[in-house]
Every structure is written in structure tokens, then in C-alpha cells.
């Protein structure tokens, strides 16, 4: 069992995306136990409400629910406006919502769904809420990434030329999540905001079971037999969000509360990715 985080989030506002199940739900529960004012961002309101009630029952804390589809620019922009209208500051942002798909699908905006959800969702939520983070004085962004990362092709992020692979689409999205974290860390340097990425380990969540396909089936089966519990996967997320041990540490990759080397570094590539995400999330 992991050591207690030791942080105090009393009076702080924490937003967790993809909070209706798995790592996101466990993260919301962990942050609430530390006294945070938690906002659980979910796509399915009914499932989200059940999750909200479970967190409230486990922690005795009042928890807020927000509905947003992080694959939709319109939905994210409406959510960000509403959030800013109700919360003058944001102390912790956990970007966690993600998918795995064994077939190529498009979002409502006509963008390949894995990229739209796992990458553009992280980018646009953070970008629109950045003024609230910087206005908090000291704030933290935690991006849930993965060791399963690589194969990023900035000339074909939507697999319009490459043969489709659900594994490759997921891996490139998680490489991009790390690179966006390093680009964000540069942009918020000196503002009191930190940005870090982490690997939760192989966690038993719904993401693989819903993917379809042989690889997804194998991953789902493995997760049931050998994977970590969501609470174990969320431990480093909560630690990065709250622990005084990582205050002022930014632009780093973490696993099991330990800093790990990341091979996906290089300012030119990170800035090219940032520019691409900016272009792809412009208002329709």
C-alpha cells in the first residue's frame, strides 16, 4: 500500500476529466479525501452521477459534476465558459479522459476520435482554463500519459495515409500527451503553475474492454488477471496534484512517484505539435 500523500487540498478546486470510472474516478476520490473541492468532468451524465454519489459516500465531501465531451470543440468551449462562470480559480487540473479504439472512427468535428479525445481534448481543456490556473497563484496540471507511447507522425496524425492500428493510434496519442506537457511547462514557467505527465501502470479499466479487436481483448484479459487496481494507478496522480514533495517541479515524467526518463523530448518537435493542436482546435 502506498504511503499517504501528505498534502492538504482544503479550499482548493480540482478538476478531473474522465472521472466516471477507472483512474479518473479513483483520482476524484483521492483528491476529495484530501479536502479538495472536486469537479468531476464526464461525458455520460447518468454514469457520472452514479460516480459522483459514490465519491460523496466514500469521502463525505460535496462533489460537483460537469458534463463535457472532450472530443468536441464546441462541448469543451461551452464547458470552459460554464466552469469559469462558477469557479474564479483552478488549483489542479487532471487531464485523464481517453479512449482506445480498434477501428478508425471520427469525432463530431470530423477528426479521428483517438486523436481528438486523447490529444486535442487535453490541449483545449488546458488552454481554455489556463487563465484560471495562472490566477490561482500556485496550480498544478497533471496529464495522464503512458509508457505505451511512440509512432507519432505529425504529417499523418489521423491515419489518413498510414494503415490503421488502434494500438498505434493510442501510442502516438500518449507520446503527444507527454510532448504537450513539456511545451506547456515552458509556457507557464514563472507563473506558479507546474505541468507534469505520468504513467499509471497497466490498470484494470474499461478502456481496453471497449476497444474491440484481438489486441484489445488480450489487453483486457491481461488487465483482469495482472493489472493494478484503479486506486493504485491513481496514486501518483493524486501525489502529483497534492504532495509538497513536488512543489515547483515541472516538465517531468513520473511513474510510482519516481521521476523517469522520457525519450520524447525536443523543443522543435514539441512546438510543431503545439502549433498543430492550436490549428486543429480553432473554432469551427
From residue 198, alpha-carbon distances to 39, 99, 105, 252 in Å are 21, 17, 27, 8
**What is the Cα–Cα distance from 111 to 157, expressed in whole angstroms?**
10
Active-site position among 122, 170, 208, 253? 170
**Sequential DSSP letters for 87-156:** -S--SEEEE------SS--B-TTSSBHHHIIIIIHHHHHHHHHHHHHHHTSSEEEEEE--SS-----TT-
**What is the Cα–Cα distance from 160 to 157, expressed in whole angstroms?**
8
To the query of whether residue 170 is one of the catalytic residues in this protein, the response is yes
Grid cell 472536486 — which residue? 38
Contact at 8 Å (CB) between 32 and 38? Answer: yes
216 membership: H or E segment, kind and range? helix 214-226
Buried b vs exposed e over 136-153: b needs ≥16 C-beta within 10 Å?
A: beebbbbbbbbeebeebe
Give the other-Cβ count within 10 Å of 222's Cβ.
13
Q: Return the active site residues.
A: 170
Amino acid at each position: 500500500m502506498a504511503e499517504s500523500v501528505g498534502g492538504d487540498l482544503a479550499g482548493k478546486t480540482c478538476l478531473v476529466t474522465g472521472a466516471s470510472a477507472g483512474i479518473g474516478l479513483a483520482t476524484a476520490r483521492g483528491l476529495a479525501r484530501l479536502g479538495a473541492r472536486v469537479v468531476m468532468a464526464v461525458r455520460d451524465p447518468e454514469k457520472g452521477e452514479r460516480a459522483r454519489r459514490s465519491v460523496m459516500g466514500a469521502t463525505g465531501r460535496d462533489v460537483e459534476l460537469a458534463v463535457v465531451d472532450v472530443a468536441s470543440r464546441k462541448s469543451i468551449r461551452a464547458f470552459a465558459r460554464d466552469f469559469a462562470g462558477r469557479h474564479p480559480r483552478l488549483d489542479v487540473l487532471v487531464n485523464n479522459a481517453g479512449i482506445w479504439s480498434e477501428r478508425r472512427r471520427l469525432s463530431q468535428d470530423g477528426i479521428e476520435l483517438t486523436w481528438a479525445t486523447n490529444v486535442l481534448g487535453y490541449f483545449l481543456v488546458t488552454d481554455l482554463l489556463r487563465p484560471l490556473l495562472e490566477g490561482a497563484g500556485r496550480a498544478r496540471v497533471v496529464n495522464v500519459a503512458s509508457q505505451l507511447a511512440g509512432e507519432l507522425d505529425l504529417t499523418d496524425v489521423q491515419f489518413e495515409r498510414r494503415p490503421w492500428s488502434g494500438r498505434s493510434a493510442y501510442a502516438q496519442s500518449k507520446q503527444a500527451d507527454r510532448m504537450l506537457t513539456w511545451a506547456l511547462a515552458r509556457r507557464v514557467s514563472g507563473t506558479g503553475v507546474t505541468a507534469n505527465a505520468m504513467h499509471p501502470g497497466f490498470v484494470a479499466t474499461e478502456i481496453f474492454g471497449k476497444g474491440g479487436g484481438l489486441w484489445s481483448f488480450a489487453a483486457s484479459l491481461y488487465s483482469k488477471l495482472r493489472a493494478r487496481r484503479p486506486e493504485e494507478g491513481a496514486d501518483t496522480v493524486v501525489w502529483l496534484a497534492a504532495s509538497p514533495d513536488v512543489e515547483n517541479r515541472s516538465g517531468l515524467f513520473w511513474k510510482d512517484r519516481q521521476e523517469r526518463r522520457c525519450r520524447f523530448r525536443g523543443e522543435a518537435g514539441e512546438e510543431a505539435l503545439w502549433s498543430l493542436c492550436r490549428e486543429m482546435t480553432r473554432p469551427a
